[in-house]
Amino acid sequence: MRKLGRSDVEVPRLGMGTAPLGGWPQALDDDTAIATVRRAWELGVRYFDTAPLYGHGNSETRLAAVLGDEPREHFVLSTKVGRVLDPGATDETLFKDVPPLTPVFDFSRAGVERSLRESRERLGFDRIDVVLIHDPDDHHEQALAESFPVLDALRASGEIGAIGVGMNFSEPLARFATEAAFDCFLLAGRYTLLDQSSLDDLLPVCVERGMSIIAAGVYNSGILADPKPGANYNYTAAAPELVDRALAIKEVCDSFEVPLRAAAMRFPTFHPAVATVIVGARSPAEVEDNAALFSHEIPDELWTALRDRDLLRPDAPTP
């Protein structure tokens, strides 16, 4: 277990991301989603990350269907603010088979308060351990001026345990890290076997300021799960040179009889700023696979071989 920044919230090394429970990238029925969460619990998963956006509320309610039966002090739960769910269906969504609600960006004080109130209602818990400002890419100043003070006050009162920001890019997160007293940052896809660009900005700042990273997107949208022409990187088809690099990484992993996905899951954990890695699942079998991969034995020589082939930055920590 590792603490998130200077908060009292402790997270295990592996957590569960729940965007797939919301119907991404394919629709998912309630029974399968609930069975997935239940299997995760049986295997010892005790950190779950969700958001109102994920399935337009479905991810939160499906989590609640299982976690509501468990002792609240036995797990860590994070959700997000920055989008509210307004009545009315929309075709502009990544999620399938969702309720007739439309996510709308809202980083205002009132929007944050409403988002948290509605998340608590869907989850059925008064206390949420970690609250993250979600994707404030085009709303940096408002998130800092309005969202942060609300979360800061709730943290001070003990209503939430830790606060942070979740984004797909490291540079704006590095700015947030120097501008306010956040505990953690959910960083998706920018500290992986294929992309270590956050070593240039965010990760050094986090080490210096005692802030933590929740590492997500460790497969870079799919290319590190199954590298091949047409594989996704950052939610679009990967450029040929990225496919070639991912295939070269896989070749090294294969030479040590280590699954590429196992190496992709474990790599971020070696950095001192990274508190936990979250990986999604959409079936009990995927949960089981994730647990097995994360515990797969990886020889230190694999990381040396990647570095020797210039497939890993020299400043990326390894065992």
Structural domain of 280: 2-308
Per-residue pLDDT tens digits of the chain, which is 319 residues long? 999 999 999 999 999 999 999 999 999 999 999 999 999 999 999 999 999 999 999 999 999 999 999 999 999 999 999 999 999 999 999 999 999 999 999 999 999 999 999 999 999 999 999 999 999 999 999 999 999 999 999 999 999 999 999 999 999 999 999 999 999 999 999 999 999 999 999 999 999 999 999 999 999 999 999 999 999 998 889 999 999 999 999 999 999 999 999 999 999 999 999 999 999 999 999 999 999 999 999 999 999 999 999 999 999 999 9
| 313 is a domain residue | no
| 19 is a domain residue | yes
| 316 is a domain residue | no
pLDDT in tens, 35-63: 999 999 999 999 999 999 999 999 999 99
Element (H, E) at 277: strand 274-280
Report the catalytic residues: 54
The domain that contains 268 carries what CATH number?
3.20.20.100
| 299 is a domain residue | yes
| 315 is a domain residue | no
Q: What angle do CA 76, 82, 88 make, to 5 degrees?
A: 110
Among candidates 6, 12, 19, which has minimal Cα distance to 49? 19
Report the distance separating Cα 291 and Cα 270, nearest Å. 18
Report the distance separating Cα 294 and Cα 264, nearest Å. 9
Q: How many domains does the chain have?
A: 1
| 203 is a domain residue | yes
Report the distance separating Cα 53 and Cα 206, nearest Å. 27
| 231 is a domain residue | yes
| 319 is a domain residue | no
% of the chain exceeding 70 in pLDDT = 100
